[in-house]
């Protein structure tokens, strides 16, 4: 089971900070955001660190399925 973090309604950079904290605790995380800017920022941070992101847009938010893989998050 992935660790799920609901970051809807949080101002930037909170979704990125929440993602970083969750990935420090788990290899597989699902982050829920509510806007494209948060989606892009989280995706950029994860991919820059070497992780992968799968995006799924739903009626209740944008779900980012993240696998840390060999990502190094500092």
Q: Distances in Å between the alpha carbon of 50 and those of 13, 18, 30, 59, 73? A: 20, 18, 16, 29, 9
Does pTM surpass 0.85? yes
Tens-digit pLDDT profile for residues 20-73: 999 999 999 999 999 999 999 999 999 998 999 999 999 999 999 999 876 555
- In this structure, how many other beta carbons lie within 10 angstroms of the beta carbon of residue 59? 4
């Amino acid at each position: 089971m992935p660790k799920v973090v609901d970051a809807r309604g949080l101002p930037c950079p909170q979704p990125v900070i929440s993602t970083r904290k969750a990935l420090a605790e788990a290899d597989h995380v699902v982050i829920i955001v509510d806007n494209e800017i948060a989606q892009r920022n989280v995706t950029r941070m994860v991919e820059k660190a070497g992780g992968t992101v799968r995006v799924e847009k739903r009626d209740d938010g944008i779900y980012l399925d993240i696998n840390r893989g060999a990502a190094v998050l500092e």
